């Protein structure tokens, strides 16, 4: 594979994770305006769909809207897993749990991705990949600030948090299915947004949306469009593009950098100086990414000694 393509793909995955790291700020803000979890997901995905659909039409890329009927189930599954399992349950987890616990539970996603990708896509489970997976998870736990935070365990919150991780894993799997059938990352994203937003319509509180916009039109429109752009449109496109050249499991592990972004945003915006424990967590997350990008000679399969 072309080295420059590989580098761009890795950067795309990391940038996508950094953008997803800002979701908590938007969700908490919209929750204060009485937006339900599904209403938040609907607004985010419908705006992302409208922007991407307009781009494809205006720049003569309508061919990317064509899919085969026999492949429709892939896009439906990707859209539902993204809207219901990932976005809905993560939004609910942020509200039901502390931000730190929600982040830790979402960080279980790479485990599901790595072990599902092995039988489905023949992606090798390497010693380095397992090590990076464990280091990244420990780093996420420390970076989230969950340890020593005094957070209590809510059984319902734990369940929906783990389901958000499973949703992320399933979305990654179905995106890989679509990419393997020759579809463009923009095609996957536009149908994910369309199906995801449609599935939320029956549960969306349009009255709350209208009231909030009427009360503060400039601020709310800016907030909603920025939320859709940063939390959905750009990261989905970047992450799915990255999957073209990065193994599904590897991309999922690298996405563990999103809590690092949350911490850095807290430091810059709210002057929340990270503790020593959180700083160690950040280092571990960055170390896991470095491990995944070791020269091939260091990659050893499990089982066996063959090189990657």
Q: Which residues on adjacent β-strands are paired with residue 300? A: 307
The pLDDT value recorded for residue 296 is: 57
Contact predicate 168/78, CB 8 Å: no
Mean pLDDT throughout 156-161? Answer: 83
Higher pLDDT, 124 or 210: 210
Mean pLDDT throughout 209-215? Answer: 95
Q: Is the pLDDT of residue 278 over 90?
A: no
Q: Is the pLDDT of residue 1 over 70?
A: no
% of the chain residues with pLDDT over 90: 33
Element (H or E) spanning 45, and its range?
A: helix 37-58
Phi, psi dihedral angles at 99 (to 5 degrees): -60, -35
Mean pLDDT throughout 204-225? Answer: 95
Name the average pLDDT for the chain: 83
pLDDT classification of 282: cutoffs 50, 70, 90: confident
The pLDDT value recorded for residue 213 is: 95
Residue burial 194-230, b: 16+ Cβ < 10 Å; e: rest: bbbbbbbeeebeeebbeebbeeeeeebeebbbebbbb
The pLDDT value recorded for residue 85 is: 78
Q: Is the pLDDT of residue 280 over 80?
A: yes
Q: Which residues on adjacent β-strands are paired with residue 301? A: 126
Dist. CA 55–CA 186, nearest whole Å = 10
The pLDDT value recorded for residue 45 is: 92
């Amino acid at each position: 594979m072309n080295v420059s393509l590989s580098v761009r793909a890795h950067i795309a995955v990391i940038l996508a994770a950094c953008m997803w790291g800002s979701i908590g700020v938007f969700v908490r803000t919209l929750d204060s305006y009485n937006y339900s979890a599904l209403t938040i997901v609907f607004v985010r995905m419908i705006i992302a769909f409208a922007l991407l659909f307009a781009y494809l039409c205006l720049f003569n890329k309508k061919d990317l809207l064509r899919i085969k009927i026999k492949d429709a189930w892939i896009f439906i599954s990707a859209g539902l897993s993204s809207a219901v399992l990932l976005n809905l349950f993560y939004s609910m987890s942020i509200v039901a749990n502390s931000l730190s616990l929600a982040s830790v539970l979402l960080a279980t996603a790479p485990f599901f991705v790595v072990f599902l990708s092995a039988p489905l896509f023949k992606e090798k489970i390497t010693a380095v990949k397992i090590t990076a997976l464990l280091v990244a998870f420990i780093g996420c736990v420390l970076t989230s600030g969950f340890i020593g935070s005094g957070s209590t365990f809510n059984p319902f919150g734990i369940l929906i948090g783990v389901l958000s991780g499973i949703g992320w894993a399933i979305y990654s799997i179905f995106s890989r299915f679509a990419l393997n059938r020759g579809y463009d990352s923009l095609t996957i994203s536009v149908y994910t947004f369309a199906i995801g937003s449609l599935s939320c319509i029956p549960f969306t509180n349009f009255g709350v949306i209208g009231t909030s916009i009427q009360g503060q039109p400039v601020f709310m429109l800016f907030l909603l469009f920025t939320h859709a752009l940063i939390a959905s449109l750009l990261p989905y496109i970047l992450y799915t593009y990255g999957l073209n050249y990065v193994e599904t499991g590897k991309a999922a592990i690298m996405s563990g950098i999103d809590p690092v972004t949350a911490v850095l945003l807290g430091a810059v915006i709210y002057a929340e100086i990270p503790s020593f424990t959180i700083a160690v967590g950040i280092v571990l997350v960055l170390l896991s990414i470095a491990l995944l990008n070791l020269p091939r000679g260091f990659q050893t399969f499990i089982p066996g000694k063959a090189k990657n």
